[in-house]
Every structure is written in structure tokens, then in C-alpha cells.
Amino acid sequence: MVHNTSFFATLHYRSPLTTLASASYLSHNSQPRANLSEKEFTMSEVQKQALKPNQAVIIGRIDNVRTFDVQGKRTFETRVIQPAPDQFTSPSAVALMSHNKLGNSGDDVNVLVSVAGFRDNYKDKEQNAVQTARNTLRVIE
């Protein structure tokens, strides 16, 4: 599921309550937009498939790969940087969990993920109860 892409990134997400949304962003290259060559973005086979509820396509560049064991099974956490929409905005970063290595730092990726998460409760500095959720993105392998 690893594909080379141009300096564009796209995130598609659909949940039962949300319609398909997409956004195309320019690279986090520090050059002004006018100096970047405009390339036609072509959708991969992964993106052409109909997304199921709670699935997304993540496209970006690998920044870091971390390996650890979960219940005796080797797991990779791959940090992917999604290019910023313009030179004044910081690029976003997402962590993808997988059992297979997606690539090395500097590699471009295009992967289908399952969007999940879990409830989290904690107390803030003033000892107030905070209820939130932690999102996880697991690569569909």
C-alpha cells in the first residue's frame, strides 16, 4: 500500500455521520506557492475504492518510524507529515500504527487507514475532571 506521490497531500474521511470530504494541500516546502510547479494530482487505486465508514486515505511524507512490541507482536508507529496548505501554515502530523514497515524517513506514502479511538479521562491542573477521546489511525494491511 505504499506509493510514491508528488508534493501534494490528500485526506479523505467518511464516517456514518459525515459525507466524503477531501482537501488537497501544497507541500510544506518553504518556497512561495508561485515558485512551486503545479502538478496534476492523480488518485491512487486505494483512493478510487469506495471508502467504508470510519476509513481514511493518508498521503504524506514519513518523518519518523518507531518500533515496539504489543502483546508480543512487532508494531510500527510511523509519523507522517502532511504538507501545509501554504507557506504560512505549519504542516500537520499524524501517527499511523501498522504491523508492517511503511517505509523510511523521507519516503512518500499513500495508505488506507481505519479511524478509531478510545475514551480518556484525566484531571487537569485545577483537579477538574476532563473527558476526551484519543484518536488512532491503524493501517489496513
User: Is 2 inside any structural domain?
Assistant: no
What is the structure's pLDDT at 68?
Answer: 96
18 lies in some domain? yes
Q: Of all residues in the chain, what percent carry a pLDDT higher than 90?
A: 60
Please tell me the least confidently modeled range out of 45-49, 81-85, 110-114, 121-125: 45-49
Tell me which residue of 6, 60, 63 sits closest to 36, measured CA to CA: 6
What are the C-alpha distances in Å from 47 to residues 1, 30, 59, 77?
A: 11, 28, 10, 22
Q: Supply the pTM of this predicted model.
A: 0.64
**1 is a domain residue:** no
Q: Is residue 4 part of a domain?
A: no
Q: Which three cell numbers stand for residue 133?
A: 477521546
Question: What is the Cα–Cα distance from 121 to 16, expressed in whole angstroms?
Answer: 25
What residues contact 93, with CB distance under 8 A and at least 6 apart? 63, 79, 80, 81, 82
pLDDT in tens, 61-109: 999 999 999 999 999 999 999 988 899 999 999 999 999 999 999 999 9
Please check whether residue 110 lies inside any domain of the structure: yes
Number of domains in the chain: 1
For the segment 124-133, the average pLDDT, to the nearest whole number, is 96
Q: Which amino acid is at 67?
A: T
| CATH number of domain containing 97 | 2.40.50.140
Residue range of the domain that includes 42: 9-139
